[in-house]
């Protein structure tokens, strides 16, 4: 397969951790992966893709955090330093973190405990112990982001809880979800494929939590601008003309006009009442006489103004009216 392979997925996932607000047992995730290249331009592209997606949804005030986790050349020396530091501060760490010192000290950065966070603020940071390759890689990522005028904050504590990350990690925070809740994040995983027995294959990707994203979009008020468009209601004076009316209904929809018809066998008067209540902008009357004369009446529901047009021109006229509105 030609590389890099770029993939996306979305669907339901399950988490083992304790569910909380916006973090359910079953949740939806949108993910993007680029596999096969270790080019820092691809890191920047992934970050940009995520940011632009959020912006397209109307989200503002986002904060982008980035970090580098280095590679296995940087890790052993650093892990020793981190363990030593954590050991010296063992008493100030929570029970879970005390266990993590030996098991996986990097996870100490993820603890939400206030005391642990205080300790970890002064802990040695991997970012300061990178050898040249990883430092250069990180600098290039930053440069590409700057070229695209993407603001970021380097956050050396950002380890994202997953042991497989190498080099770049990133996370986006919405002001509506609090500092602990990223709406999306990801990173590079250059060793992951190898660890699972595959041939050495670098990769980078990110995931977006759909529920948390929805909360952010809703709180931002970005859903408010999506209006429930109701352009045309087709009123049928006589059930015998319904098949013709249905034909016109589909033609209107095909032309990009939001249209509907009565499905409850209402009288003409009741149909008009319904169209009013639902907020349709126009009503088109289709009756046997109209069909015979090939003329239909179009009523502006707001002004009550009514025009008569040739039935063959209906689609075009309605499209022009709706577009102009
Ligand atoms: Zn390295
Ligand atoms: Zn802790």
- pLDDT tens, position by position, 84-133: 999 999 999 999 999 999 888 888 988 889 999 999 999 999 999 999 99
66 touches 47 (CB < 8 A): yes
65 within domain boundaries: yes
Examine the domain organization and report whether 239 and 269 are in the same domain. yes
Overall average pLDDT of the 49-54 stretch: 96
Please name which ligand lies nearest the alpha carbon of 109.
2
Question: How many A from CA of 22 to the centre of ligand 2?
Answer: 22
Examine the domain organization and report whether 189 and 319 are in the same domain. no
Question: How many A from CA of 116 to the centre of ligand 2?
Answer: 5
75 vs 252: which has the higher pLDDT: 252
171 touches 177 (CB < 8 A): no
Compute the half-sphere exposure of residue 285: CA atoms within 13 Å on the CB side of its CA.
21
Examine the domain organization and report whether 314 and 178 are in the same domain. no
Please name which ligand lies nearest the alpha carbon of 112.
2
Examine the domain organization and report whether 214 and 241 are in the same domain. no
Average pLDDT, the chain: 91
Confidence at 181, pLDDT banded by 50, 70, 90: confident
Cis peptide before 14 (omega within 30 of 0): no
98 within domain boundaries: no
Compute the half-sphere exposure of residue 158: CA atoms within 13 Å on the CB side of its CA.
26
Lowest mean pLDDT among 69-83, 96-110, 167-181: 167-181
Give the start-end residues of each E strand in 5-124: 5-14, 26-35, 63-68
pLDDT for residue 291: 84
Confidence at 147, pLDDT banded by 50, 70, 90: very high
108 touches 92 (CB < 8 A): no
Examine the domain organization and report whether 215 and 254 are in the same domain. no
227 within domain boundaries: no
pLDDT for residue 323: 81
pLDDT for residue 180: 61
Examine the domain organization and report whether 51 and 190 are in the same domain. yes
Closest residue by Cα to residue 244 from 220, 268, 261: 261
314 touches 247 (CB < 8 A): no
Question: How many A from CA of 23 to the centre of ligand 2?
Answer: 20
Question: How many A from CA of 115 to the centre of ligand 2?
Answer: 7
Please give the residue range of the domain that contains residue 253. 232-324
Examine the domain organization and report whether 198 and 257 are in the same domain. no
Examine the domain organization and report whether 67 and 196 are in the same domain. yes
306 touches 298 (CB < 8 A): yes
Question: How many A from CA of 140 to the centre of ligand 1?
Answer: 14
Residue where a domain stops, chosen among 168, 191, 219: 219
Question: How many A from CA of 119 to the centre of ligand 2?
Answer: 9
Please name which ligand lies nearest the alpha carbon of 92.
2
Question: How many A from CA of 82 to the centre of ligand 2?
Answer: 15
Q: For the chain, what percent of residues have pLDDT higher than 70?
A: 98
**How many whole angstroms separate alpha carbon 68 and alpha carbon 270?**
66
pLDDT for residue 173: 93
Number of domains in the chain: 2
Examine the domain organization and report whether 173 and 257 are in the same domain. no
101 within domain boundaries: no
Confidence at 161, pLDDT banded by 50, 70, 90: low
Examine the domain organization and report whether 262 and 194 are in the same domain. no
Question: How many A from CA of 22 to the centre of ligand 1?
Answer: 35
**How many whole angstroms separate alpha carbon 243 and alpha carbon 207?**
48
């Amino acid at each position: 397969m030609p590389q890099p392979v770029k993939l996306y997925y979305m669907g339901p996932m399950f988490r083992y951790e304790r569910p909380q607000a916006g973090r359910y047992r079953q949740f939806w995730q949108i993910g993007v992966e680029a596999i096969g290249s270790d080019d820092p331009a691809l890191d920047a592209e992934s970050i940009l893709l995520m940011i632009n997606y959020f912006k397209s949804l109307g989200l503002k005030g986002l904060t982008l955090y980035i970090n580098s986790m280095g590679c296995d050349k940087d890790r052993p020396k650093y892990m020793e330093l981190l363990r030593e530091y954590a050991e010296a501060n063992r008493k100030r760490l929570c029970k879970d973190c005390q266990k993590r010192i030996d098991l996986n000290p990097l996870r100490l950065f993820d603890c939400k405990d206030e005391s642990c966070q205080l300790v970890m603020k002064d802990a040695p940071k991997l970012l300061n112990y990178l050898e040249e390759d990883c430092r250069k890689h990180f600098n290039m990522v930053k440069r590409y982001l700057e070229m695209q005028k993407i603001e970021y904050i380097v956050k050396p504590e950002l380890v994202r809880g997953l042991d497989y990350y190498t080099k770049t990690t990133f996370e986006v925070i919405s002001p509506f979800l609090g500092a602990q809740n990223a709406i999306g994040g990801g990173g590079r995983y250059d060793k992951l494929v190898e660890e699972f027995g595959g041939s050495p294959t670098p990769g980078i990707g990110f995931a977006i939590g759909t529920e948390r994203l929805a909360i952010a979009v809703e709180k931002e008020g970005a859903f408010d601008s999506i209006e429930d468009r109701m352009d045309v209601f087709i009123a049928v004076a006589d059930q015998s003309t319904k098949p013709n009316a249905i034909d016109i209904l589909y033609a209107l929809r095909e032309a990009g006009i939001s249209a509907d018809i009565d499905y409850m066998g209402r009288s003409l008067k009741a149909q008009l009442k319904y169209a009013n209540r639902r907020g349709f902008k126009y009503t088109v009357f289709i009756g046997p006489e109209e069909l015979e004369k090939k003329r239909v009446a179009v009523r502006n529901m707001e002004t009550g103004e009514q025009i008569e047009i040739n039935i063959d021109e209906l689609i075009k006229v309605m499209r022009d009216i709706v577009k102009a509105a």
